[in-house]
């Protein structure tokens, strides 16, 4: 009779077991600190997006912005969810300690059709262990998802931003189409836990491209842990939970960047939000520096004045230099290639010539542009409209209403 050999589970080192059993304290500390830091980082990232859109025409900035905010929201929501789960786990541990004799089934007075799936003496041990495992799963998936998003950003920079700076003409579209198809298959394989890599013969076809993508996205750092995770989970249950979590992350990422990306507000169902007043009557907070300061806007994307209510005889205009002006500046003669040279200023129906413009460079936020002080002493008190226009292409016209109130 053949001797049956039992397969033994690898013994966990004592130091690792100690860490696993006491990691909840460190997890609470990490989650609390990470949530606070990520909220701060999200604001800084939005400011960075604002600057990037103003100062560069770099290809691939759109996906970079979207993926960056998506990654931040995955981490933020993941740590929030983990903190809530760990707090619930701690509550279960506490109530199990307070009542060590377990559940007293005789005192549960539920009647049919309600059911009680407990026995007298049952404790919270199983639920405590399940919630503890769920905490570990949430923490792991949040961090790995952030690694994945960061890797995709590196992929965009490597295979979109850099090549598009070197490729011109119709080749750009062809290259982007090919890259998009390959990236789609790579992402599909990632979502399906490597299913495409497991198809005979197809694996040889995709290997060179997937290998390069794996290196660029730093997948080799967390691949071993992914194998451990993917081979031990119930994929259907996990897939449903992960899909819900990713959907929520996408929603919060969208609400953070839709203004900067000039996307429609899909959560605003008001039918007349674009028909509240005459179409040419707009009051935009970013046109008034006092309003921008109240809302914490460090950088201005459009021309601005000091306030909508002017209590002095000078209108102080600031025009930030944005990359959008380069099209007009490139059409100017080389001896007169100045931002002030393409700028026209009107107040009501009167054009203002011979304005003395000055270079401006903000020392705190590094925003550059031009400034001018225009006398409005001759204007009557009441409403007026300042118009700042690009006289070359007429693409950057801005109308800024203001009210003079000088006693």
Q: What is the pLDDT of residue 4?
A: 46
Asked if residues 88 and 29 have their Cβ atoms less than 8 Å apart, the reply is no
Does residue 325 form part of some domain?
A: yes
Q: What is the pLDDT of residue 1?
A: 42
Q: Are residues 66 and 141 in the same domain?
A: yes
Q: Are residues 40 and 148 in the same domain?
A: yes
Please give the chain's pLDDT, 407 residues, in tens: 444 444 455 666 665 556 566 666 677 777 777 788 887 787 778 777 777 777 777 776 778 788 888 888 888 898 899 889 988 998 988 888 888 888 888 888 888 888 888 888 888 888 888 898 888 888 888 888 888 888 988 998 888 888 887 776 667 778 888 888 999 999 899 888 888 999 999 999 999 999 999 999 999 898 999 899 888 888 888 888 888 988 998 898 888 888 777 788 888 888 887 778 887 778 888 899 999 888 777 778 889 999 999 999 999 999 999 888 888 888 876 656 888 988 999 999 899 988 999 999 877 767 899 999 999 999 999 999 999 998 887 767 899 999 999 98
Does residue 323 form part of some domain?
A: yes
Q: What is the pLDDT of residue 316?
A: 96
Does residue 206 form part of some domain?
A: no
Q: Are residues 349 and 250 in the same domain?
A: no
Does residue 369 form part of some domain?
A: yes
The whole-angstrom separation of Cα 189 and Cα 202 is 12
> Domain total for the chain?
2
The whole-angstrom separation of Cα 108 and Cα 106 is 6
Return the CATH number at 349. 2.60.40
Range of the domain at 386: 285-404
Does residue 274 form part of some domain?
A: no
pTM for the model stands at 0.72
Q: Are residues 240 and 136 in the same domain?
A: yes
Q: Are residues 253 and 289 in the same domain?
A: no
Q: Are residues 239 and 357 in the same domain?
A: no
Q: What is the pLDDT of residue 3?
A: 45
Q: Are residues 151 and 292 in the same domain?
A: no
Sheet with 358-361: strands ordered across: 314-320, 368-375, 358-361
Q: Are residues 335 and 238 in the same domain?
A: no
CA triple 298-302-307, angle to 5 deg: 75
The whole-angstrom separation of Cα 163 and Cα 64 is 15
Q: Are residues 247 and 333 in the same domain?
A: no
Q: What is the pLDDT of residue 22?
A: 64
Q: What is the pLDDT of residue 357?
A: 95
Does residue 367 form part of some domain?
A: yes
Does residue 385 form part of some domain?
A: yes
Q: Are residues 127 and 32 in the same domain?
A: yes
The DSSP bridge pattern shows strands 309-310 and 314-320 to be: unpaired
Q: Cis omega before residue 108 (within 30°)? A: no
Q: Are residues 253 and 349 in the same domain?
A: no
Q: Are residues 244 and 346 in the same domain?
A: no
Does residue 225 form part of some domain?
A: no
Q: What is the pLDDT of residue 375?
A: 95
Q: At what angle do helices 14-55 and 235-257 cross, to 10 degrees?
A: 30
């Amino acid at each position: 009779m053949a001797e049956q050999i039992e397969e033994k589970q690898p013994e966990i080192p004592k130091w690792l077991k100690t860490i696993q059993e006491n990691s909840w304290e460190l997890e609470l500390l990490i989650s609390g600190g990470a949530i606070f830091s990520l909220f701060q980082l999200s604001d800084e990232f939005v400011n960075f997006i604002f600057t990037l859109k103003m100062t560069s025409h770099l290809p691939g900035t759109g996906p970079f912005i979207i993926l960056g905010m998506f990654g931040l929201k995955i981490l933020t929501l993941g740590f929030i969810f983990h903190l809530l789960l760990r707090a619930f786990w701690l509550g279960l541990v506490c109530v199990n300690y307070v009542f060590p004799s377990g559940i007293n089934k005789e005192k549960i007075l539920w009647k049919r059709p309600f059911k009680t799936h407990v026995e007298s003496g049952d404790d919270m041990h199983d639920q405590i262990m399940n919630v503890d495992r769920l905490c570990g799963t949430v923490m792991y998936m949040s961090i790995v998802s952030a690694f994945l998003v960061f890797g995709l950003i590196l992929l965009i920079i490597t295979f979109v931003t850099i090549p598009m700076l070197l490729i011109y003409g119709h080749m750009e579209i062809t290259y982007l189409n090919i890259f998009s198809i390959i990236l789609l298959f790579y992402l599909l394989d990632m979502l399906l836990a490597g299913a495409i890599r497991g198809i005979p013969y197809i694996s040889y076809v995709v290997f060179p491209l997937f290998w390069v993508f794996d290196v660029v996205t730093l997948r080799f750092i967390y691949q071993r842990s992914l194998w451990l995770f993917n081979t031990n989970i119930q994929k259907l249950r996990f897939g449903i939970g992960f899909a819900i979590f990713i959907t929520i992350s996408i929603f919060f990422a969208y609400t953070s960047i839709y203004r900067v990306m000039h996307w429609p507000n899909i959560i605003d169902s008001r039918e007349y939000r674009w028909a509240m007043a005459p179409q040419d009557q707009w009051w935009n907070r970013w046109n008034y520096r006092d309003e921008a300061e109240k809302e914490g806007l460090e950088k201005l994307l459009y021309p601005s004045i000091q306030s909508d209510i002017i209590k002095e005889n000078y209108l102080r205009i600031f025009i930030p230099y944005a990359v959008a002006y380069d099209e007009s500046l490139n059409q100017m003669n080389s001896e007169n290639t100045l931002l002030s040279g393409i700028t026209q200023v009107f107040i009501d129906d009167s054009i203002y010539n011979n304005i003395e413009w000055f270079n401006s460079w903000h020392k705190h936020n590094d925003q550059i542009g031009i400034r001018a002080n225009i006398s409005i002493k001759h204007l009557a008190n009441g409403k007026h409209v300042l118009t700042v226009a690009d006289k070359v292409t007429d693409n950057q016209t801005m109308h800024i209403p203001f009210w003079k109130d000088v006693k």
